[in-house]
Amino acid sequence: MIPELGVGISYCAGLDPLLAAQPDLFPVVEIEPQTFWVKSREGKSPFRVYPEVIQHLLDLPGRKLIHSVAAPVGGTVPADAAQFQMLREMVQLFKAPYLSEHLSFNQAHGYHTGFFLPPRQTRSGVQVAADAVRRLQDAIGVPIAIETGVSYFKSLPDEMPDGAFVAEVAAKAQCGILLDLHNVYTNARNGRQSVTEFVRYLPLDQVWEVHMAGGMERNGYYLDSHSGEMETELLEISAQVIAQLPNLKAMIYEIFPSFIETAGLDCVARQMESLHGLWEKRATAPRAVPALTVWSNAPEQISPEDWENNIAALVNHHADSSLAPKELQLDPCIPVVRQLIEEFRASMLVGLYPLSARLLMLMMGKDIFRSLLEDFWSKHAPQQYAAVEVEQFGAYLRSIGLEIPSLAAVLNFEEAAMHTMMDGTARTVSFDFDPLPLLRSLAEGTLPDMESQLGDYAITLTGEGVELLSSLEKIQAGLH
């Protein structure tokens, strides 16, 4: 029996001041575990966590839910099984009553897509997803709830309606549903099924959790950007939907970390108050509302595997998409999704190698820097973990031998800092000039006004305070 948990938020570090100031707003905190994992280069147990961070997460207010973001259940490529041990330990440590994951895919055959992409909504696709849900449930040992995803693509003639597909997967896999109302609303705004119609297909008593968020218009599409303020229209529709959910356990607001700065914590607090108001509207007794069932009888034009390979290739520069069906090639969302993936990749880079990225942008200008990134993206597939993505970019930069003064030194410095953060081992980086004026200027977003002092300098990056664990057993034992 899953307990009723209440209203909460998807955690990121930028929310800490609000969580500390107004803990009553957060009866639940949802943790996306892989966002705090470090992927090491060692093969057997590649995922590591900082115990200090895990302890901080344990100390956050409210009950905890675990929302996985790296083992989606909508595709034919199995999720990386190496993550299951840590995922299971996270669920146990945080006493999460179930695990939620996305009914999407993020792996084509041979590479990571850099984005959650929509599954093939056919009979074959239902079977693929149900099998993946069962594998995940067996590996983790708690019930699974599947999250309704975003699709910027146009519907194909042989597809099942969006809501019907989710309902069929949930029935076949016997799992719960995480109804992301903002995702469904995003799809509806972009021409897919309406929210009301979507919900008509769902087995409403299997909806355990609802997600809400803000979005934005860009290039003719409404985006699931998690950018702050929820739309009034979404709130109105959600009130009607939530009143039909008799078994709702949690309702979570999502904001992307990079938008906290622009939206502000006051905005987040207002959204939480809206969610508390919506929560009161939830159904308290089961309602006899039969779900619609529709099977598409149209012959399947594309297998799930081909669908995944085709759309992954279309939205990524490095892959050959010439064999994709014309209908998919002409979908107007292709350049939009491609750009969203690029923004994610570039954001990983400026997040982990901020000084190298700034040096490149300030020396080359943003347009040529963009060209550099496009060349990199055309040659290298996205990586799921940011550290691996930027490592790949560093190797690319060295391979092209770009003549940017001090770039090699700054890149070495940042790469060493990252590696030390990932293994706690001290590293020394040599310079033939005093690096501090340059590093300080780049940290301020400028190039230095004065020439650096020449000489032999060495910065030793210490692993001070860096402890990593490949298992949570030690923390679990400490709690008993």
Partner 1 sequence: MASRKYPTGLGTVHISLPAAVAGNINSLSGSLKEIAEQLGCPKCVSGYNCRFQLEKDYLFDPAAKKLQKVAIADQSAFAAPTVRVNVGARSSYNLDSVIASVRKIAELTGHTACATGCNLFFERFQDRMFNISNTGRINELKYSAGL
- Running DSSP on this structure, what letter comes out for residue 430? E
Residue 111 phi/psi, 5° resolution? Answer: -160, 160
Query: Does 210 interact with partner 1 (rule: CB under 8 A)?
Result: no
Residue 235 or 364: the one with the smaller Cβ distance to partner 1 is: 364
Residue 204 or 349: the one with the smaller Cβ distance to partner 1 is: 349
Residue 100 or 204: the one with the smaller Cβ distance to partner 1 is: 100
- What is the spatial distance between Cα 145 and Cα 245, in angstroms, rounded to a whole number? 15
Question: Which residues, 249 to 308, sit near partner 1 by CB under 8 A?
Answer: 254, 256-259, 261-262
- What is the spatial distance between Cα 206 and Cα 408, in angstroms, rounded to a whole number? 55
Residue 24 or 403: the one with the smaller Cβ distance to partner 1 is: 403
Length reported for the chain? 480
Query: Does 329 interact with partner 1 (rule: CB under 8 A)?
Result: no
Residue 286 or 375: the one with the smaller Cβ distance to partner 1 is: 375
CB of 13 to partner 1, least distance (A): 4
Query: Does 189 interact with partner 1 (rule: CB under 8 A)?
Result: no
Question: Total residues at the site for partner 1 (CB under 8 A)?
Answer: 122
CB of 447 to partner 1, least distance (A): 5
**Binding-site member from 452, 469, 471, 475 for partner 1 (CB under 8 A):** 452
Query: Does 311 interact with partner 1 (rule: CB under 8 A)?
Result: no
Query: Does 85 interact with partner 1 (rule: CB under 8 A)?
Result: no
Query: Does 143 interact with partner 1 (rule: CB under 8 A)?
Result: no
DSSP string computed for 86-110:
HHHHHHHHTT-S-EEEESSEEEETT
Burial class of residue 288 in the structure, from the number of CB atoms within 10 Å of its CB (0-12 exposed, 13-18 middle, 19+ buried): exposed
Residue 203 or 354: the one with the smaller Cβ distance to partner 1 is: 354
Handedness of CA 309, 314, 315, 319 (dihedral sign): positive
In 3D space, the residue among 154, 92, 99, 166 whose CA is nearest the CA of residue 126 turns out to be 166
DSSP string computed for 275-306:
HHHHHTTS-SS----PPP-----SPPSS-HHH
- Which residue stretch of 9-17, 153-161, 303-311, 315-323 sits at the interface with partner 1 (rule: CB under 8 A)? 9-17
**Binding-site member from 2, 171, 417, 469 for partner 1 (CB under 8 A):** 417
Query: Does 374 interact with partner 1 (rule: CB under 8 A)?
Result: yes
In 3D space, the residue among 106, 150, 104, 108 whose CA is nearest the CA of residue 129 turns out to be 104
**Binding-site member from 99, 132, 314, 372 for partner 1 (CB under 8 A):** 372
Residue 201 or 377: the one with the smaller Cβ distance to partner 1 is: 377
CB of 340 to partner 1, least distance (A): 6
Query: Does 220 interact with partner 1 (rule: CB under 8 A)?
Result: no
CB-CB contact of 208 with 142 (8 Å): no
CB-CB contact of 187 with 162 (8 Å): yes
Please tell me whether residue 135 adopts helix, strand or coil conformation: helix
**Binding-site member from 5, 7, 8, 10 for partner 1 (CB under 8 A):** 10
Distance from the Cα of residue 369 to its chain's centroid: 25
Helices (H), 243-365: 257-263, 265-279, 304-314, 326-329, 333-352, 354-364
Query: Does 217 interact with partner 1 (rule: CB under 8 A)?
Result: no
CB of 76 to partner 1, least distance (A): 19
Query: Does 190 interact with partner 1 (rule: CB under 8 A)?
Result: no
Question: Which residues, 38 to 77, sit near partner 1 by CB under 8 A?
Answer: 38-39, 49-50, 52-53, 56, 67, 69-70
Residue 122 or 227: the one with the smaller Cβ distance to partner 1 is: 227
Burial class of residue 258 in the structure, from the number of CB atoms within 10 Å of its CB (0-12 exposed, 13-18 middle, 19+ buried): middle
Residue 239 or 407: the one with the smaller Cβ distance to partner 1 is: 407
- What is the spatial distance between Cα 10 and Cα 42, in angstroms, rounded to a whole number? 30
Rg of the chain (C-alpha set): 23
Query: Does 191 interact with partner 1 (rule: CB under 8 A)?
Result: no
Question: Which residues, 118 to 137, sit near partner 1 by CB under 8 A?
Answer: none
- Which residue stretch of 168-176, 267-275, 327-335, 400-408 sits at the interface with partner 1 (rule: CB under 8 A)? 400-408
Residue 235 or 466: the one with the smaller Cβ distance to partner 1 is: 466
- What is the spatial distance between Cα 274 and Cα 269, in angstroms, rounded to a whole number? 9
CB of 288 to partner 1, least distance (A): 33
Query: Does 195 interact with partner 1 (rule: CB under 8 A)?
Result: no
